[in-house]
Amino acid sequence: MSPAKATALSEPKVVTGDHGYVLEDVPHLSDYKPDLLTYPNPLQDNPAYAVVKQYFVDMDDTVPQQIVVHVDSPRGIHFRRAGPREKVYFKPDEVHACIVTCGGLCPGLNTVIREIVGSLHDMYGVTRIEGIEGGYRGFYSRNTIPLTPKVVNGIHKRGGTIIGTSRGGYDNKKIVNSIEDRGINQVYIIGGDGTQKGASAIYEEVRRRGLKVAVVGIPKTIDNDIPVIDKSFGFDTAVEEAQRAINAAHVEAESNENCIGLVKLMGRNSGFIAMYATLASRDVDCCLIPESPFYLEGPGGLFEYIERRIKENGHMVIVVAEGAGQDLVAESLRTTDNKDASGNKVLDDVGWWLSQKIKGHFKKQTQMEINLKYIDPTYMIRAVPSNASDNVYSTLLAQSAVHGAMAGYTGCTVGPVHGRECYIPFYRITEKQNKVVITDRMWARMLSSTNQPSFLSTKDIIESIMEEAPPTQLLDDQVTDNGLVNEKRIVC
């Protein structure tokens, strides 16, 4: 196949309708294999579904991306609603499915694995399911693990992933060769944005070869930085577990004279865990995230705020996301842009750096002696099993993925949009990262909770609004919700 034709495979599948309706549809096996046979969905004979009023999702069911609209605004972008279809494109006894987990650990991985296996076996009667050991490289360098309902029965109560994970090791052609050689025809890929980019490339190679293989992604990131979807699995558990670290820091800070409890949480590029944990805790005096720049010295800086809070309360709790202030850290430590196996920049330890900077400032610049307790619970949070909320959510994701693959949908990922499970094209998941909007009401609520300065100028806010706000939102809708604006500082 020529490069030009191969490139054309990646073109978005878009359907337009009346009143500005746009459906960003996902690929289907019949797009490049039009003569495939269809079969009745086995769910119609499943006694568990006998009580369901409507067995199957209608082919025209879609979910809007924007839920808040104006009376005269167009209907906007929609995504195909997930769920079982009346016809399927695989006979249960011909399905050979595999599951792979990639990237870092996240609460809920084992739950997703368990529910994919359970959904395939119990809903559709599929018996050949394998786990690929050790991430993407496991396709061509490791063994597979047979997965049955008995094998996965209790794994949702454990952290980690029973099939292992890794970063890097991606070789697209070797992976698809392995898929073809093993006779696999359904591939479930669990991972973050880098993993989903790999899944998209696997789909393109599968399509280029004309294989009847459904490739479906389940988005995983503890940082909640996957765009479009409401949230990623494991996020609720991470916020809940972060409370333990914040509570420990608060106890230490209250129990010692002039004490600062400093907690570093996950958040490479997006500060959602830090922000939500701060809001949930109400014991935090300052929250620093990658999206909101801060500075240490001078009027309105972090040092001045720390001095004021300790004089007022006798103690303080600071939460910092791992990606916050990286420009300051790199400048101070003169580090280079090293990258890990996944291609991500290796971050400097902002928690350790900030603790040293705070200690140095109070030792040299003030007469106040302080105690500082630094807590880094990162790997403890990643390794815990998912909580009840994430278990339910992971179940919905897994079932939606299986329904989609059986119905012939491919080249897509699954996730909730405004509470409804959808099939979303890979390119929408990988085109950018979800970030905290620092001109949004949620960030303003956080600032109100901590009473910290925002460290932003009016110019910073205007630029952020123009960059982040959807076209339907204007400045007067947001600036007023972020506090009192003056020419130098924003104070909330």
**SS3 of residue 289 by DSSP:** coil
How many CB atoms are located within 10 Å of the residue 463 CB?
13
Q: Is 283 a catalytic residue?
A: no
Catalytic site residue from 25, 223, 236, 390: 223
Looking at 440-480, which runs of residues are DSSP E strands?
none
349 assigned ligand-binding residue: no
7 assigned ligand-binding residue: no
Closest CA to 82 of 421, 429, 425: 421
207 assigned ligand-binding residue: no
Quick check: 382 and 104 in contact, CB under 8 A?
yes
410 assigned ligand-binding residue: no
Cα dihedral angle (131, 135, 138, 141), rounded to 10 degrees? -160
H or E element that contains 414: strand 412-417
CA–CA separation, 43 and 83 (whole Å): 11
223 assigned ligand-binding residue: yes
Q: Where are the alpha helices (DSSP H) in 119-267?
A: 124, 138-141, 172-182, 193-209, 235-255
Q: Exposure of 473 by Cβ count < 10 A (0-12 exposed, 13-18 middle, 19+ buried)?
A: middle
Distance of alpha carbon 3 from the chain centroid:
32
183 assigned ligand-binding residue: no
Closest CA to 120 of 96, 156, 87: 96
160 assigned ligand-binding residue: no
209 assigned ligand-binding residue: no
Distances (CA, A) of 375 to 259, 318, 350, 352: 13, 10, 12, 9
217 assigned ligand-binding residue: no
Q: What is the C-alpha radius of gyration for the chain, rounded to an integer number of angstroms? A: 25
192 assigned ligand-binding residue: yes
Q: Which two tokens stand for residue 358?
A: 């705070």
CA–CA separation, 221 and 316 (whole Å): 30
378 assigned ligand-binding residue: no
Cα dihedral sign for 217, 221, 227, 229?
positive
104 assigned ligand-binding residue: yes
268 assigned ligand-binding residue: yes
SS (HEC) of 364-379 = HHCCCCCEEEEECCHH
CA–CA separation, 196 and 153 (whole Å): 27
194 assigned ligand-binding residue: yes
380 assigned ligand-binding residue: yes
Closest CA to 434 of 442, 445, 444: 442
131 assigned ligand-binding residue: no
Query: Which residue numbers belong to the known binding site for Mg(2+)?
Result: 193
Query: Which residue numbers belong to the known binding site?
Result: 104, 167-168, 192-195, 221-223, 266-268, 322, 379-382
Query: Which residue numbers belong to the known binding site for ATP?
Result: 104, 167-168, 192-195
- Positions marked active-site: 223
Query: Which residue numbers belong to the known binding site for substrate?
Result: 221-223, 266-268, 322, 379-382
